[in-house]
Chain A
Amino acid sequence: MKNNYNFHIGRITPLPRDNVDTDQIIPKQFLKSIKKSGFGPNLFDAWRYEDEGYPGQDLSERLINKDFILNQEKFLGADVLLSKDNFGCGSSREHAVWSLMDFGFKVVIAQSFADIFYNNCFKNGLLPIKLSEEIITKLFDIAEQRKEIEIDLLNQVIVCEGSEFCRFEIDPFRKECILEGLDEIGLSLKFSEDIKNFEIQRSHDAPWVFNKNNEG
């Protein structure tokens, strides 16, 4: 699911709300799947449709909420999601990231993100970008005008109409993970010796932690 990109050109889908929680991004009835794919059709299910969704249903029969942003023709194909404060709050469900990506979103821009959602993005190659309220406000205008933006991750810059629109901050390792599609577990296992040595010391300092089966 990694992206292996450093450059993305796309249009913006505006979702001008604070506190968009992961229950809204992907409602609980779809969390029963044991896979990572197939969540896209139910992204924002309760906002996107006017009837109640359930797993495995025939989507062609559903009542579309024409007012919702993902259903508006002018935003079709836009793959950069733009929102406001505290995006991705609530449940830790990584299904929220899987559903955004399965739908086709490559980037989420918001004023701020909840911690667990923000982490989950990087594990899957969805790029979350934090920007100031002032810049977010300008981006909502750009979204309305349906202008394309270019997101250059390598140089950490967003370009619009050929000129630099803004720069963004990102942790260097996380940036590398997205650029290179790195296997984080593989990287951590390079420290196996350190982990083993730590574990030996800890089992000496706090043996009860390792005697879980001391029942009775």
Chain B
Amino acid sequence: MSKTLYDKLWDAHAVIQRNDGTHLLYIDRHLIHEVTSPQAFEGLRLAKRQPWRISANIATPDHNVPTTNREEGLDGIVDEVAKLQVTTLDDNCKEYGITQFDILDKRQGIVHVVGPEQGVTLPGMTIVCGDSHTSTHGALATLAMGIGTSEVEHVLATQCLVVSKLKNMKVSIDGQLSNGVSAKDVTLAVIEKIGTAGGTGYAIEYCGEVIRNMSIEGRMTVCNMAIEAGARAGLVAFDKKTLEYVQNRPYSPKGRDLQHAISQWHELRSDEDAIFEEIIHIDGTSLKPKVSWGTSPEMVIDIDGIIPEASSESLSHALKYMDLKPGMKLSDIKLDQIFIGSCTNSRIEDLRIAAQVVKGKKVSDTIKRAIVVPGSGLVSAAAVKEGLDQVFVEAGFEWRAPGCSMCLAMNPDQLGEGEHCASTSNRNFEGRQGYGGRTHLVSPATAAAAAISGHFVDVRGLIK
């Protein structure tokens, strides 16, 4: 019987089906960060259980870490409550012998940037993490899902997850993207089309010419926001680009192991006649840069669009929170801050695109603060080697140390009340980037151009 990519990954990891119909799904890799793991380790200790397979786990602190004064390590964390959470991760990793890239390690970074970068994430794997944006890793033809803390404990103790099989959705993006339109605009377009609950109960496989032509980093951006469409997993088929990306990474297989792996990885694609319960088509050629105007990632319009009417309670609530009026143009919104970073858009390619827009220009006087937060220590080092940090600093951006930073503002990087921010992150929920803050989700190119202009502008034409 023909199978989808999701079906294949599922079949390769289903241990048993229980009487109630749910399955135990074997988990190859478990990524751990400081926020959703302490209660899971505590649960293990209380039940006197041990982790099933220590080497399946890898940890790094990312949500709470400050992006300044990082040479001070733990002492650089001013907030004592945050510091306790980071030291608790240190203690738990030491106690159980789990590999951790700690706050002073050059490989530290956002867990979803670090996994693929280190070759910890490999095609054909099942990967979980106590973070909804684990869907990111699906770009490498893995089945990757976000889980809650009880499930973190369950995976630690059993190396399995109790799950029911998801349905299959295919999202095909065809045609050619215009210059200046990127992966972020694609993923926002999908959410705009199917809504934030459109993918609930599904694994979404992204395909079509646009995805085939897209870099692995771009595919990660697309899969990262599958969860914003409600889908626990996003997927892209294995191809030559995937192989080029994963080989020669610290933890990826070498030599005969690699040849063995490649022979299997080539199967990681949906069969021609595989059945999807839902198929969505998007015309990539007509896509324009996207900007979110409201408080849900589905509240998205084209760069030349206008703020919609308050046709429902949710929309009118969002308009009020964002302090916007129907009929306004995006360029009428006065921006206060710019954030380039997050597990959605903090990889080297994202920084290169933003730097290309910024180079030789200055951040507008009307922008209070513009920051760039690389996704990992290694992304930061690569950017410095290329001189990108200087491009940003000369333009008036602040160049920061890696972490989740203002994506969810658990660290000191936050919006002030009422401030509007052009942000390359993934969620525009109320208060997400700071109490009373107003987030506009955009691509790195659009964020960079907004920093220079002081307001949103169409980047098509600005990008080669």
Contacts and interface: CB of A to CB of B under 8 A. Distances in A.
Interface of A: 16-19, 21, 23-24, 27-29, 31-36, 46, 52, 55-56, 85-86, 89-95, 97, 112, 114-116, 119-120, 123-124, 171-173, 176, 183-185, 188-189, 191-192, 194-195, 198-199, 202, 205-216
Contacts, number: 204
Contact of A16 (B79, B313, B430): B313
A94 B39 CA distance: 10
A90 B39 contact: no
Nearest to B253: A208
Nearest to A115: B232
B85 A32 contact: yes
Interface stretch (B149-157, B213-221, B275-283): B149-157
Contact of B150 (A16, A124, A211): A124
Interface residues of B, number: 86
Contact of A19 (B47, B162, B296): B296
A143 B411 CA distance: 39
Counting from the closest, the 9 A-B pairs by CB-CB distance are A173-B20, A123-B150, A208-B253, A34-B38, A120-B148, A94-B148, A86-B197, A94-B149, A92-B132
Contacts of B158: 185, 188-189, 192, 195
A90 B55 contact: no
Interface stretch (B123-131, B176-184, B393-401): B123-131
A112 B200 contact: yes
B187 to A, nearest CB: 15
B96 interface: no
Given A33-B81, A86-B197, A208-B260, A18 B314 contact: yes
A21 B314 CA distance: 13
A24 B99 CA distance: 33
B264 A206 contact: yes
B144 to A, nearest CB: 13
Given A23-B429, A86-B196, 7 more contacts: A27-B435, A28-B432, A34-B42, A184-B162, A188-B158, A188-B162, A195-B160
B230 interface: yes
Interface stretch (B22-30, B350-358, B362-370): B22-30
Query: Which of B150, B159, B253, B264 has the most chain A CB within a 10 Å cutoff?
Result: B150
A29 B148 CA distance: 18
Given A119-B148, A195-B158, A215-B250, A32 B24 contact: no
A90 B24 contact: no
B41 to A, nearest CB: 9
A92 B36 contact: yes
B125 A32 contact: no
B176 to A, nearest CB: 32
Contact of A24 (B79, B148, B429): B429
A185 B146 contact: no
Nearest to A213: B55
A195 B26 CA distance: 8
B49 interface: yes
A31 B63 CA distance: 10
A171 B201 CA distance: 14
Contact of B200 (A86, A188, A195): A86
28 contacts: A19-B197, A21-B427, A28-B410, A33-B81, A34-B38, A34-B39, A52-B417, A55-B81, A91-B408, A92-B131, A92-B132, A94-B39, A114-B197, A115-B201, A120-B148, A173-B22, A183-B47, A184-B154, A189-B157, A194-B24, A206-B124, A210-B55, A211-B253, A211-B257, A212-B29, A213-B251, A214-B254, A216-B250
Contacts of A86: 196-197, 200, 230
Query: Which of A35, A115, A171 has the most chain B CB within a 10 Å cutoff?
Result: A115
Contacts of B26: 195, 198-199, 202
A115 B161 CA distance: 14
B47 to A, nearest CB: 7
Contact of B261 (A90, A92, A199, A208): A208
Nearest to B54: A212
A208 B36 contact: no
B410 A90 contact: no
Contacts of B254: 214
B264 to A, nearest CB: 7
Contacts of A85: 197
B391 interface: no
B56 interface: yes
Contacts of B300: none
B431 A27 contact: yes
